[in-house]
Chains A and B, each alone.
Chain A
Amino acid sequence: MTKQSIIKSAVGILTVLSLTITGCKDFLDVNNNPNKAASAEPKLLLPSAQTAIALVLGNDFQIYGGIWSQYWTQNFGNSQYKSIEQYVLQGSSFDRPWQTLYADAMEDLQLIINQKGVAKYRQYAAISMLLKAYDLQLLTDAFGDIPLKDAVGGESGNLSPKYDSQKEVYDSIFSIIDQAKAMIDPASEFVPGSEDLMFAGDMDQWTKFANTLKLRAYLRLSEVDAAKAQAGITALQDADFLTDDAKITYISTGGNQNPLYAELVALGQYRQLRASRTLVSQMTALNDPRITAYFQLSGGVIKSMPQGSYDTNPNGASTPVPAMGADPLTPTSALAPVKFMSSYESYFLQAEAVARGWMTGDATTLYQKGITASFTAYNAVPGTYITTQVAAFPATKAAQIGAIITQKYFAMACNQGFEAWTEWRRTGYPTFFVTPVVSSLPAGTFPARFLYPNTELTRNPNFPGAKLITDKVWWDVN
């Protein structure tokens, strides 16, 4: 090879190289993700957000609420929930529920709400706003001050949301509900169908949901700002409230099951959660027929364990019935619903509003309807229970509130644990909670909140600082 031919070949090679580079553009255009979708319509996002809220409400919050309401207690020989009984918690335990409520549910709801200007999506947006209000209330009742104004703004650049006071969160809940109510149009040709897992697009039910949620939220302020609560509730006079449960019902198909059941099955199908003596002894004392509607017989009787006695009490206490989702050995537990708000809750809320004189009506009747709805929900035969209880419906306002909340506690037993515990925090009812055997807190001291998740502590420069589980939230002033 001569020198010239070398130069020629070098030029040739460089030409090939430069062609390679210029041809690069197409060659390198392979970064379109074939594994994910670029867009999704509201009707695909709505059911996802609903199940996300229900996943937290029906599993994590149900377990904490159920144990802290002393409906059930950790079984002997199993160990999943010991630290909850001990009141020894870690922030990381709340990472997942917090993330699900914000990043899975609220983010998707916000994407729907952002399209409220499009007629086709307006009813979806109205529902999404109500669910967002519900989601916010769950979060603030559990954690206190939470990100509100800056929440779910990650994609627009807000990576470190500031926290807003619980008071502001409540103000916002009322305002979001009002906006949503104004958007509801049952006559719209664009109402959702079965993808609305709660009411299948029945917008009248959503109006009732809105009113009941608002009533519940205002009552939550009864102790901290009675005037505001009263004003808000008075304005609800004559509003329609829920007479049916706002709930998601599950099926037996794997992946579509009641979240508590699914969790317990995945944990090895141990009956971790058993009847607490706190609840059982009270129901027994009152001859409450619902006891066998709530718990399964063990050796022919309802057996219970003292709260937090898992180290010392091997005699198999009763397991909740399948309708509560907490029995992993019975496949029908998969069908247990998760109740966002129940019909009996609706009546008890109204009864309290009337008892407080903030709405007009017959507190006794509403109270009785609440108990009846609870019996009906679990196919229990009340016998003389209601008349006895109603006969005992006290005369003074304070005592009436006590009776209403205590009956609400019994009605929510094993199915609305978080709400029951939250109402106990607000009102102090029921009054018969015991210090768990293994409590790490001084006798008579109970948790007053969840801990902020670790993910906020370590990722959010605007995180306001950790709280203790005994620090009360803003509305908890008693």
Chain B
Amino acid sequence: MRKSLFFLLSTLLLVGQVVAQNRSVTGTVTSSEDGSAIIGATVVVKGTSNGTVTNMKGEYTIQVPENATVLVVRFVGMKDQEIKIGTGVKHNVVLFPDVTKLTETVITANAIRRDKSSLGYSAPTLKNDELTKGQSSSALNALAGKVAGVNISTSANAPGSSSRIVLRGGSSIGGNNQALMVVDGVPIDNSSIIGGGDSRSTVDFGNRGNDINPEDIESITVLKGPAAAALYGSRASNGALVITTKSGKKVSDNKKNEVTFTSAVTFSNVAKLPELQNDYGQGYDGVTNDPRENWSWGPKFDGKVQPWGQSINGVRREKPYSAAKDNIKNFFETGKAINNNLSLSGAGEKTTYYLSLNSLNSNGVMPGDYDKYNKYGIRFNGTAQLSNKFYTSVAVNYNKINSNLIQGGQGPGSVFNNVLQTARDIPIDKLGNMNDPYNSYGNTVDANGNPTYGFYGVYTTSPYYILKNFHNMNDVDRVSGNFTLGYKPLEWLDVLERLGADVYSDRRRYMYPKFDILPADDVPANDPKKWYDQVDNRVIQLGKYEEDQYNLSEITHDLMITAKKDFTPDFKTSLMVGNNIRQRVFNTLETQTNDANGLVIPGWYNLDNSNGPVKTFNEHTIRRLVALYADLNISYKNMLYLGATARNDWSSTLPQGNNSFFYPSVNGAFVFTELTKNTGLSHILNYGKVRASWAQVGNDANPYLLRTYFGKTDLSSGFGSLTFPFNSIPGFTYGNLIGNAALKPEITTAFEIGTELSFLDNRLSVDFSYYRNKSKDQILNVPIPPSSGFTAKVLNTGVVENKGIELSLRGMPIRTASGFSLELFGTYTRNKNTVLEITSGVDQVVVGGFGGMSIVAAKGRPYGTFYAQDLLRDAAGHVIVNANTGLPSLTPTAVYLGSYNPKYQASWGTTASYKGFSFNLLFDTKQGNQFYSRTKDITDFNGTAFETAEGGRTDVPFANSVVDDGTGKLVPNTNLTYSKQVYFSAHIPAGQHVIDASYIRLREASLSYRLPRQLLNRTPFGDLTVGLFGNNLALWTAKTNKFADPEVNSGGAGNEQGFDFTAQPSLRNYGFNVRVTF
């Protein structure tokens, strides 16, 4: 549309300009974006008014004077292109989009479209093509490395797996720290409820924010600070992702529907596995070769053929005693996913529509087709201009997800844990045929009819058995959307009503088998080689069926009245007042068979099969909020801009009578290049803006925090539990959380300054921000000493500060008339997060971890600091060993060990285009953060980690250690040795598993080719693009991290980050894709 309009204008302007000509030059003008012809581009002889415009095929013909050497080709939204004409007659020209898009508009809070120049805050926007280049199935992961100030944790990077998005650091000690997600003006739910009990046995069912189909997204604007997001109120203190979905476009001939089909086939492999030793095999104490062991603390490999595993019919299997080097790697298969999208869009004179259908079918990297994730989606977006004064739009999205995912963490249901606990010589990758008696697991029986197992290991479960028999199923049905009705009675007045809803049912079913199986071993009981004691090596699981149901219903209403007045052509104002009403209802119903006694009948998964009382948990929460807000904008001469917002909230979760709170924001921008635009400076600095903003955002509490309650007694002893009724006697206990009837709202204050600069005709652009956010009076369940009779009290307390800088650079060093361009961009983000205060006397709040290792918010330290016992060192850093055992001594208490927050993040990317080819690379890095790795812990324990065999296994003094000489003096330890097996399997403190999480990653790479139009002329296709892509393709980690991708996480998308509790390994994805339009 814009092309034909401009064509008309250009033609009108240029008509009648006839100058004496000498020769004719012709050519075609095409776009570098898609190679399509540009209609209506002006072609002018440089330095003259002599020009023409391109026709409907993008062709031009111009008469030029003999002395003319340069033509200038211009088109709106594109960079001017100069071509030297020499003596040639035909000159084809490729125009490049104007990268900085100075005329760009940005969708801001409440789906209000604004001129980007007018914003007093940073609001970077990514378009669909930038999001989908790497073909990530997660729109959030697709943001990684592309925007400064955004910290995405991509976890497993698998379809449906969790992604966490934090803008400018976490500011809430106990609450949510993720950005608010808003789709077409309506906030959507981004809950992350970990499956599988807790983060030590996680099934990652993902976060609901990942439900959105990246192909449906037109753009995402990142409102990083409270200033930008203040209109969203309470939930915007962490910033917001403003997602705009696609709408129908009026295509050139105005009648045809545009049909687009995209398809991507993705293959996946595990990105990083621990580095393992290949010198020592099954057994323990360096001598004993125990055939049932998963430990790799046995003798050194000698390559000699020897028996292993169980004796069946008097025979044990035999194999050379040597490392099965790739046993873990080969256990995994190549995952496959097919992602298909079909969209139809079009427009009538007063209507537009966009309809899309999406399916994503994935079979993950676990052997067999047990790990499956299927997602289906339908979206309909329509708009209509009902009359001159009314307009309306409706958007509906439906998603259906069904999946069966694999549990991580510890315990008998974790495949990865059981695979990692494999001795180095055991070919675990070849034990998948359970019909082979040596691999059997409960599917063979002994002479008495008891089920047996022939699997070699008695301390681990066959991972193939787990895959086949442990199910973690998820069914999600979600409908979200909105309806708007606008009324524009006058040019300056606009009344808009918008009603949004987000409703879903998230149903999870866990089926864990009940079994009681004996080793198949038939060596007589009195034989000295009898390893498989029938009682001691009996393997038992009680089984479980659990069904959990999570239901959300969230309704949001906004009424916005906007008035605009231009006092003079240079002085413009607009004022919007609005009302917001929000209700969120969340229901939880968790039920499971008796957790101490499990199932009655094996293989039947129903609550009726509970051996003892069914365990239930049900919770109904409702919260409501009413708000009034106003937004004032003033502009002067496209140069000075001032914006201010004010909002007052009334919340149901705060004490009645004291539940109203007000908060303002103000922002300003000064486009100083408006003062120099006609001077010589404008050739060097062609655009420059400084901006500043200040904002406050209030936040209310979670429901039901105003008083202390009684609950049914359900005590845990760590793993076991005691639950009432006890022998049919009821029991209740006073809650451990002291409520607070005097709660007030928490307040975040944010300040930001920044600049946007463009140099050399937009060939280089810079965006820089400095910000400082402070969040105080946080509504926090402050941990209190249990000797007080309680474990926490709800208080308004705690101060967290984030300050940092963000820098984005973008440049196009090469741009030739032949159509080759090279674009480079980079980002740098440094955020310093400090928990300034919790409450008097309280040092820390635990946000994750387990008994021996906590992830905490601790006073004076960054949010998310690791806290664990570590090796005891002297002042010079030498490890102090125990004078009795030679083993390192441990710190008497836990110590602080660094944070999961990176000291800085950066990214670097490039796009090279030539004709229809486009090549894209994106690297990103996080540096200076830590993570806890149980992958390290368990491979250390198992004697398989590379470091357990470094320097051999003979007892030596601990490296660089000192010891008390008996008088209290520390002297170098030269003779006290320690046992590596004892150290790594039983002594090493959790602090030693907190390791450097720094990485550099090849986040995305893609190569695409758009077929030239002329090739498609005789096909039904309007457009055809084929491509190769990859994401998470290569990973370079810190030297000390030989264990796992530091982005994997067992805590889902919540505040428990940097927690690899044998989390699912992350995936490297690659494949090919095609995109056609009809």
Contacts and interface: CB of A to CB of B under 8 A. Distances in A.
A454 interface: yes
Interface string A143-161: 0001100111111001111
B887 A440 contact: yes
A108 B628 contact: no
Which of under 10, 10 to 19, 20 to 34, or 35 or more describes the interface residues of B?
Answer: 35 or more
- Shortest 7 CB-CB distances between A and B: which pairs? A461-B841, A262-B720, A254-B596, A152-B789, A255-B723, A36-B709, A154-B788
B656 A28 contact: yes
Contacts of A268: 411-412
Interface stretch (A99-107, A356-364, A369-377, A411-419): A99-107
Contact of B656 (A25, A104, A108): A25
A38 B721 contact: no
Nearest to A18: B628
Interface stretch (A44-52, A119-127, A393-401): A44-52
B493 to A, nearest CB: 7
B535 interface: yes
Interface string A444-456: 0000000001111
Given A25-B656, A31-B706, A254-B595, A329 B615 contact: no
A160 B612 contact: no
A312 B283 CA distance: 11
B650 interface: yes
Given A152-B788, A460-B785, A96 B890 contact: no
Contacts of A34: 620
B727 A438 contact: no
Nearest to B701: A31
B652 A92 contact: no
A259 interface: yes
Given A48-B724, A311-B982, A254 B851 contact: no
Nearest to B708: A155
B659 interface: yes
Given A28-B650, A256-B723, A261-B720, 7 more contacts: A35-B619, A99-B791, A102-B788, A111-B734, A255-B594, A262-B719, A316-B535
B860 interface: no
A95 B729 contact: no
Interface in B491-511: 493, 495
A153 B793 CA distance: 12
Question: Size band of the A side of the interface?
Answer: 35 or more
Contact of B869 (A32, A90, A159, A440): A90
Contact of B626 (A28, A93, A146): A28
B40 to A, nearest CB: 38
A255 B612 contact: yes
B568 interface: no
A79 B652 contact: no
B455 to A, nearest CB: 16
Interface string B704-726: 10111111010111111111101
Nearest to B526: A299
Nearest to B412: A268
B736 A103 contact: yes
B894 interface: yes
Interface string B722-765: 11101101111111101000000000000000000000000000
A151 B787 contact: yes
Nearest to B588: A35
A263 B720 contact: yes
Contacts of A96: 716-718, 851
B982 A33 contact: no
Given A31-B653, A459-B785, A440 B615 contact: no
A416 B707 CA distance: 40
Nearest to A44: B732
A158 B869 contact: no
7 contacts: A1-B490, A55-B715, A59-B720, A98-B786, A103-B788, A159-B784, A311-B979
Contacts of A466: 892-893
A30 interface: yes
B1072 interface: no
Interface stretch (A80-88, A286-294, A379-387): A80-88
B986 A83 contact: yes
Contacts of B285: 311-312
Interface string A106-136: 1110110000000000000000000000000
B720 A455 contact: no
B729 A38 contact: no
B709 A33 contact: yes
B538 interface: yes
B651 A28 contact: yes
A30 B852 contact: no
B840 interface: yes
B789 A151 contact: yes
B535 A55 contact: no
A329 B535 CA distance: 9
A32 B655 CA distance: 11
B654 to A, nearest CB: 8
B21 interface: no
B127 interface: no
A138 B655 CA distance: 41
Nearest to B294: A77
A148 to B, nearest CB: 9
B703 interface: yes
B748 to A, nearest CB: 22
B1016 interface: no
Contacts of B284: 311
A89 to B, nearest CB: 9
A458 B787 contact: no
B787 A102 contact: yes
A283 B731 CA distance: 41
Given A52-B715, A438-B986, A6 B490 contact: yes
A154 B784 contact: yes
B626 A51 contact: no
A268 B421 CA distance: 16
Given A88-B890, A158-B788, A468-B892, A253 B656 contact: no
A38 B720 CA distance: 28
B715 A31 contact: no
Contact of B709 (A37, A111, A311): A37
